[in-house]
Every structure is written in C-alpha cells, then in structure tokens.
Chain A
C-alpha cells in the first residue's frame, strides 16, 4: 500500500498539524501523547476534517488536493474508520449496524459475513440491541462493521482505550491476526508502546503535530 500525505497543514487549537509523509507498511502505528494531533490526522485522511492545505492520495487514488479545491467524498474513500467514541448506531440492532456498510442489503448469509463474525466472535450478539453491549463487545462490533464495508484501509483510533487488561489482550490478539486474515492494511493510532509493538511493522512518532521519528516499533519505543 502507499498512502502519500503531502504538505498537510491543519490548524488546531494549540498548534498546527504539519505532516509530509509516505506510508508504505501495511501495519503502521501513529504513536504519540494525548493531544499530539493523532486523531486529527486520522480524521483528515478519512475526509472528516478539511485541512488548510494538503495533497493526500492512497494507492494512486487522490483523496484531497486543497490546491485544486478537490476533496473526494467520504463515502467514496472506502476507509473503515473505528473511532475512539461510541459509534454504533444506537437505534439499530447489531445485525443492522453490521449490514449498514453493505448499503443496507442483507449480507448475513455471505461467506464474508460469517468469516468476519466468526473471526471476531460476535455471532451471539447479532440480535442484541447495541445499548446492551459491553465495552469489549461494542468495540468488536465496530471493527466488524468497518471490515464488512469492504475497506481498502482500516483507520483504528485507539480501539483498545478504556478496556480492562483481559479484554485488551483478547482484542489485541484479534487485531494482530486481522491483517493476516483479511489482508487489509491498517493505520493504528495509539499512545501505548506495547500495542504499537504488538501489532505494527512501523511506527510514526507524532509530537505537537509533527512527525519527529519513524522506524521499527520495537527499536523506537522499547
């Protein structure tokens, strides 16, 4: 994969996010302290924030070119976005949340559907209301919904935050196996070195809106 971010500038409250980077590893972590601009970077790639300037492309497909005032609509970017906040649609069942990404068509009988459901072990949750899910169940369903939307890139924004240690380890194992199982590249935002080391091949260190280092997670963060 190749995610090219050129001359990205996005003014934030404390500082300006300024990033110019090529990302080629299929499992890349964006690591940094809280408030470093990690989520803003992810949201900009997803098209949820309009940068002041940037040229962003993924595998040759242009996402943003502010110079030409071009921005590919969010729905056409085919990015599976897993945010930090509760993002399941509260008025829909788990099953209908999962089907949302397949344009509302029932997808429950396809091999892909069962593959994702079995992989994330959420088959028993399908007819539950999302309000009744635990935090860990909620996170698994969000990841499954993103996978079922057939994304070309997964954007995971601290998906393990606010989980207890046991749950965190369980989902961490699933995320480790996720790329092998579905061959979908991922950008993984975290402020926990152990998560970046466990999941990713490369880490970008983001501090106050700037990438200050990049390299092998184990070498850079140990």
Chain B
C-alpha cells in the first residue's frame, strides 16, 4: 500500500491540525475539568451542559453555529478580522476550530474522571509540608490525575482526526488548504476513487484503534490504582 503525494500531504495536514487543536484545548480543558470536579458555583450546571453539547448536537449544526460566530459578519469573526486581520472560516484555522470544539467534551470528561480519582487527603498532606496551592496542583494533583488526562488527550486527538460535519461547514473542503482525512475519504467515495478512499480509511482505523486502546489501557490502570 503506497500513498500518493496528495494523500501524504492530507495525512500530514490532518495530524498537524489535530495535534495543534488538542494542544490548544488542553489548558482550558484541564481548568474546566478541575473547576467542575472541585467546586460548586452558580452556573456550574449550565457550563457542564454547554461543554457536553458538541457530543450530542449534530456536528453540522455545531459547524453552522461556528460559521455564524466566526464568519466575517459574525461577532467573533468580525472582531478578529477588524483588529488582527485574521480570517478564520474556510482556512486551516477553521479546521483547528472545528476539531477543538468537537473534541473538547471528551478531554474534559476524561480529565474530570482523572481529577475525581485523586485522593484529596494527599493534597492536604502536601500543604502540611509547606506546599502552596499551585505547587500542590502541579506536583500532586496533576501527576495523580495523569492517566485520565492522557486518556482524554488521546481521545480528543482521535475525535479531531475523525471530525467531518462541523469541519465541512466551517472550513469547506478546499484541496491543499482545508482537506482532512475524513473530507478526502468522502470526496474519494463521491468521485469513485475507491482505492484512495480505502487507503485513507486504513490510516483512520489505525489512529482510532490505537487511541481507544491506549485510552482504555490507561483508564483500567487508573481504576486498578
């Protein structure tokens, strides 16, 4: 099985964009997961619901929301265009945006499970030993929650690779600019290029299988303590 230069470009682009989107949501996702797990605050239920929404909303609908928000006439898109001369929709940025929004819930959910598994008494002990809250978080909480967090990262990355509906609405399917693995498989099937579609399908299956398997292994290790 050998890939054409175009297929290689699409594989590289997809992996790069998905890695970037996962990195982008990591700090925010960890902060949200931690706040949801550790504190009760007004509006918590609303945030929980909004965070989960992309999991249940049709991806195309999510894409449409993003298109309206980040389009040149949308509130965020207009602001970015006017002040920073940045266009989002129908660029690689839109691919990152769609991947980030669609994979965010998976990261938050897994990280939250990770934080739930941390024995908070150990954090208290660290404080009795003179540690400030920030040091406790980075040296005790984060390492002890790491399996859940890593599982979340892996799942988020895999979800980003598989993203289709939101991406095609907000980023289009522009060869060499916004075409990802999923979009190219769709195009190849439409055009009857079955061999290319199956080659890219194998890549998708390998990535998805590895991600889910790794995530399951990590979560099982966590539950075994």
Contact = CB atoms under 8 A, between A and B. Distances in A.
B129 interface: yes
Contact of A83 (B125, B132, B139, B144): B125
B121 A101 contact: no
B129 A101 contact: yes
A46 B124 CA distance: 10
B131 A75 contact: yes
A100 B131 contact: yes
Given A90-B144, A91-B143, A81 B131 contact: no
B205 interface: no
A48 B140 contact: no
A149 B129 CA distance: 6
B128 interface: yes
Contacts of B127: 47, 73-75
A83 B143 contact: no
B126 interface: yes
What interface size band does chain A fall in? 20 to 34
B136 to A, nearest CB: 9
Given A81-B125, A83-B121, A87-B121, A149 B144 contact: no
B5 interface: no
A81 B122 contact: no
B125 A87 contact: yes
A143 to B, nearest CB: 13
B27 interface: no
B144 A101 contact: no
Interface in A128-153: 145-146, 149
Interface residues of B, number: 16
A109 interface: no
B130 interface: yes
Binding site secondary structure of chain B:
helix
A60 interface: no
B140 to A, nearest CB: 6
Given A91-B143, A104-B139, A75 B121 contact: no
Interface string B140-158: 1001100000000000000
B130 A103 contact: yes
Interface string B88-124: 0000000000000000000000000000000001101
Contacts of B140: 89
B17 to A, nearest CB: 33
A23 to B, nearest CB: 19
A175 to B, nearest CB: 19
Contacts of A77: 128
A81 B131 CA distance: 13
A83 B127 CA distance: 13
16 contacts: A46-B128, A48-B124, A48-B128, A74-B128, A80-B128, A81-B125, A85-B121, A87-B125, A91-B144, A100-B129, A101-B129, A101-B130, A103-B130, A103-B131, A104-B135, A149-B129
Interface of A: 46-48, 73-75, 77-81, 83, 85, 87, 89-91, 100-101, 103-104, 145-146, 149
Given A73-B127, A101-B129, A104-B135, 5 more contacts: A80-B128, A81-B125, A89-B122, A104-B139, A146-B129
Interface of B: 121-122, 124-132, 135, 139-140, 143-144
